[in-house]
Each structure stands twice: as C-alpha cells, then as structure tokens.
Structure 1
C-alpha cells in the first residue's frame, strides 16, 4: 500500500458541499480543513479510501467522481499541474503524468499505450475493488478529461472509457460527462484518446516554461528515488519486531544505524511516516498470512503485533473494509 497527495482528499471533500461535515471528514485523515493546501502532504492509501466510504454513508456518491473531475484545476497541483498546462499538446500533458506520477501518488501508475485506434491512457492500481478505490479511479479519469478540456483548443472527449469494476447503479451521468461510450467490467481502467486530439497545440503551451518545469520535476523525482530503499529497510525491521508488539521508532532507528532525529527527518523528506509504514507492514503481513490456512486468526493477530484478537479485527476492517475471516473467505 502507498500514499496519495492530500490535495485529492481536499478536492473530493470540497465538491460534496453541505452533504457532509467537511471539517470532520478531513480530520478523519489528519487534514486541517483550514490549513494550507500542500501537494507534498501525503495520506495513507487506505485512509483515503476510508474517507470516501465515510462520505458514502452520508450521501449518494454515484456522480461524485464526475463532480470531482470537473472541479480539477491544473494550478492547484504544483509543478506537475503547471507542466500539464504548459505542455505543447495533450500528448505532452499526458506524457508528463506518465513520467512524474510518483509526485502525486505511490500506489497508482499511469502509462501510455499506442494502438491502431488511438493512444490508451491506462491507470494501474492494485487492490480489492472496495468502494473507495472505485470512486477514486473514476475520479482520476474524469480529472484527466477535465484538465484536457481546459487546455485543448477544441471540444475534447475520449473515444472510449473503460473501468475494471462493475457498473454503479446508473451510468447515464458517466456517458454524459465523458461524452463517449463508458464500459464497466472491462480488462483495464483506461481512456482511448484520438491521435488528433493529442496533437492539437495546447492553448497555454509554452516551451520556455515547460523546460523550466521539467527541470524542476526531474529534481523532485530524484529526491524521492531513494525512498523505496529507506521504505523497504524500515518495513523489514518493523516486520522482524512485530511479534513482540508494536515497535518503537527509536528501536527501528537504532537497527538502521540512525538517530531518531535523523530517521524522522529522512522519512519526512520522502513523505513517509513511521506510523504509516508500521500500518502498511502489519497489513501486508496479515493479508499474506490469511492466504495460508495453516495460520489461525489468533496467530495472524499475534504475529502482526496485536495482543488481542478484537483489536486486530478492528484494524483489519479499517484497512480492507472487511473482517479477517471475511477476507479469508473471499479468497476462496
């Protein structure tokens, strides 16, 4: 599991209006509604999905991803948003997302694929298709269309949009928004884009600004390139310590040969937190062990650092949207 910029959470909550208590919903993921919008403030993936599901308890979220997409503005998303706007054409805009997606999220990857009928903008995301994931993926592709319409010199719509998950209760709003056929239960989450629409010059394209922003984005990307090594080493030490209970940050820092202060600083530089990595490690170990029937639920709880089965059950339901027993049963 990974992290996503808190700006996505702010946008999702912002478009819901009075249907929810915005302050309370953002507070559920540790975001201060009155604070500054910072694209580098990252949220845990599962927390983001749980936030969306919390909203679903209060409102009909069928059209929420489309409303979120329509509200997206490039200027709100830092250098990558500006790079989208200043690219020479939409192919350049989408190419920037495909290259620099790690500045926005660590759990979603974007890819461009050439086909005879056009270019596919594909979103790759792992995980059980809980409601939060479904809404988030629909909002991502809806955002891509909205941002395209803001920089394209002519009316823009994809040729076709596909989603891997099942259709919501109604899809008429999706087809009206995208302006093309929308298929659910497909083999990929993607938009098929015409070569013509991708080659038209963007109305705000600027070669000089583009060069500056690309240099800046390359620097930012280089800053996070060593994050996987630090993340892997930290999670490995956490995993070894879990059977004795939740590990302390000072103990893991010592194992890595770092002071607590240096360890905290290095994690923060990469948008990571010790608490988040501990939760991720517990979740990954738990889901892996639940695939093996040789481990009882109580053993899984113990080996992931929980002294009580009930505490493990609550944590697992928060992570996966279901109990450990239900998850094991869903695996067949």
Structure 2
C-alpha cells in the first residue's frame, strides 16, 4: 500500500489565486477533486498530493501550455509556508534561505527531499528529489507540480535578492512530453536554459549571488521565526525526534547545555530508547546539540548589541575560552574576528 502523501494547505492559496486569474471557479474546482475550500484558511492543514495533482492537470488542460504552473509561482508569497516562509524572508542570504527550505522540507510536504549545496567552483544547487510510489515507481508529484515548485523557488529567489535574478539553468528528470508543448511564458519566466531527461529536478544558480546578503536579512527576527518553526515542526512531524530535542536544548541552553539523560527524561524516554530512536534517524544527541549551538551562535554573532561573552552564555558555554574554541572549530577564526568581518562587509558568508 502506498503511503499517504500530503502538502501544506497553504499551497492552495497561490493555486486558487492562479485559478481566479484564468476565470476558473476555485470552490467548484476544489470540490470536484475532494478538497474542501475551507482548507485554504487552515494554516496548518494538510492536503492530499494526489488530489492536488488532479487539480493541476484539470487547470492546465483548461489553460494550456504550462501557463498555469507559472501563474501559481507568480501568485506565491512566503507566508503560505507558515513559519518557514518568514524564516526564509529574514535569512542572511539566498543560500541560507534555500538551506532552510531543505532543512524544514516537511513543512512543505512529505513527498520529497530537497538538498541545497555548492557544486563545482561557481554553482549553488537546489536539488528537488521527489519520492516515488512503491507499486508503480511513478513520481509522487506530477511534472506540472514539479515545474510549479521549481518556478516558485525562482520567484522566492527574486523576492530575496532582486527581480533581475535568473538561474543558470533549470533541470527536469523527465522529458518535455510530460509537460506538453514548449511555452513562451515558461521560457520568459525562467529566462535561462531548461534541460530535460536529467538525473535530477533542480534550480542551478550562481554561487556568489546565492552567498550575497539578502535585502530582508534580519538575524533577530530570523531567530524568532526559527524558534516558532521548530515548535510548529514538533506538532506536524511528531515522528521526528530531532525537532523535539532541539526545542528542549534551546530552552535549556542559557542555564548550561542539558545532558542527554535530562532531555530523555523530559521527553518521557529512557536514555537507551532515545539513543536508539536517534540512531534510526541517522543522528545522535551530540550532533543535535552541536548544530543547535552553531545555528544560534551564527544568528547571535550578527547582533552587535550582544557581547561575545553573552553569546557564549546564551549557547550554554560556562566560559569564553570554551566558546572561542568551539567557534574556531565551526568557522576557523575567533568570534570577534568573524563579527568584525561581518559588520564591515555585506559579502561575508557562513561556512
């Protein structure tokens, strides 16, 4: 039996807006495919991906030439992604924003993985791996949905770094017949080569552009949004223990780094059970503690009103020397040096 694949109901907002732009009745159309129109107003609701795929097929058939996919992207606003959208808007750079989408992909849907990484000397890639149905091997998302999502990533990139942003190329792991005829609107929107029959679905962009400081960069707000996002993830993805542990760590760090035994007790688990569950997820408590400390530190270091010693305290280090050693391990330099470079340059990038 195939798993139940769903997507955040917020996706219905750009989809219904696109419908209206083509005089397609949203309420009638959603009801045809078993989606309650009230789902549009539920910020934490989930919608069956197969039903959503049927909506895309129906609307593309009415409009033709893939134009509907692009209109969905043009109608997108980051707020439809709940707290993830706000965390993306306040990220330091496009690279960090894409890494956030990849990290919290379960907010978007449970039918894909996304990887954000540097490739070669010049490229930064947002690689979109779509799961496949176990019985047929067919991708869970239809080609039209995949195109709409990649177009949404491009729209999001333009919101972050400027409207003149254009990718190096778009790649699809299916042939063009899966989308129908080529379309001038699609070509004009992406404004870059579109490649088919590739090994991946991806947006390839210039690494230096991805690294540059974004217009909406705000480390204070970004930290608040990430805290809300982690709490949201604890509700929507109860199977992922990492989010629950990270929340506990964030709450306890100013009083010192909590022990693995303390966190297990707070979560109602034995130490052995917690270790086993984390091992099943391919991680361990030490890695979660380290990544949480680093994430918090890299937000705090960009806030000039916090002293280096205060930051060390906030991320659970008992003295500045231990914090300095950890920071050198993360960034290869002292925290004071990193902050000086950050404040004097808009192009400093985290590694």
Asked whether the two chains share a fold, i.e. TM above 0.5, the reply is yes
Q: How many residues align?
A: 229
Could you tell me which residue of structure 1 aligns to residue 223 of structure 2? 211
Determine which of 7, 19, 23 is the counterpart of 1:4. Answer: 7
Deviations 1:176-203 (A, max 9, x none): 1112111112111001111111112111
Paired residue for 2:173, among 157, 164, 170? 164
Q: 2:118 aligns with which of 105, 108, 114?
A: 114
Alignment pair present for 1:123 and 2:128 = yes
Aligned counterparts of 1:222 and 1:75: Cα–Cα separation in 2 = 19
* Cross-structure match for 2:153: 144
- Cα distance in 1, alignment partners of residues 12 and 236 from structure 2: 22
Extract unaligned runs of 5+ from structure 1: 230-332
2-structure distance, mates of 1:121, 1:223: 26
Structure 1 residues 197 and 37, CA gap change in structure 2 (3 angstroms): farther
Runs of 4+ with deviation above 6 angstroms: none
Q: Is the 8 A contact 1:159 1:193 kept in 2?
A: yes
* Counterpart mapping for 1:229-240 below 5 A: none
When residues 183 and 209 of structure 1 are mapped into structure 2, their CA distance, relative to the original with a 3 A threshold, is same
**CA positional deviation for 1:215:** 1.5
User: How far apart are 1:161 and its partner, in Å?
Assistant: 0.7
Equivalent residue in structure 1 for 2:31, among 27, 31, 34: 27
Instruction: Tell me what 1:183 maps to.
Output: 195
Is 2:70 aligned against 1:66?
yes
Map of 2:94 onto structure 1? 90
Map of 2:18 onto structure 1: 15
Match of 1:308?
none
Using the TM superposition, give the Cα deviation of residue 12 of structure 1 relative to its aligned residue in structure 2, in angstroms.
Answer: 1.7
The 1-side partners of 2:26 and 2:140 are apart by: 19
Structure 2, unpaired ranges of 5+: 242-351
SS of equivalent residue, structure 2 residue 174: coil
The 1:129/1:71 distance shift into structure 2, 3 A limit, reads farther
Instruction: Name the SS for the 2:202 alignment partner.
Output: strand
In structure 2, the partner of 1:223 is 235
**Secondary structure at 2:124's aligned position in 1?**
strand
Asked if structure 2 preserves the Cα contact closer than 8 Å seen for 1:120 and 1:190, the reply is yes
- Shift of residue 227, structure 1, vs aligned partner: 3.6
- Name the SS for the 1:123 alignment partner: strand
Conservation of the 8 A alpha-carbon contact between 2:66 and 2:186: no
Q: How far apart are residue 133 of structure 1 and its match?
A: 0.9
Q: What do you get for the CA RMSD once the two structures are aligned?
A: 2.4
The offset of 1:126, in angstroms, is 2.5
CA 1:82/1:62 → structure 2, altered by over 3 Å: closer, same or farther? same
Q: Secondary structure at the match of 2:104?
A: helix
Q: Structure 1's 8 and 197: CA in aligned 2 closer, same or farther, altered over 3 A?
A: same
Aligned-pair CA distance for 1:131: 11
**Contact 1:165–1:184 at 8 Å: present in 2 too?**
yes
Q: Return the alpha-carbon distance in structure 2 between the equivalents of residues 36 and 50 of structure 1.
A: 17
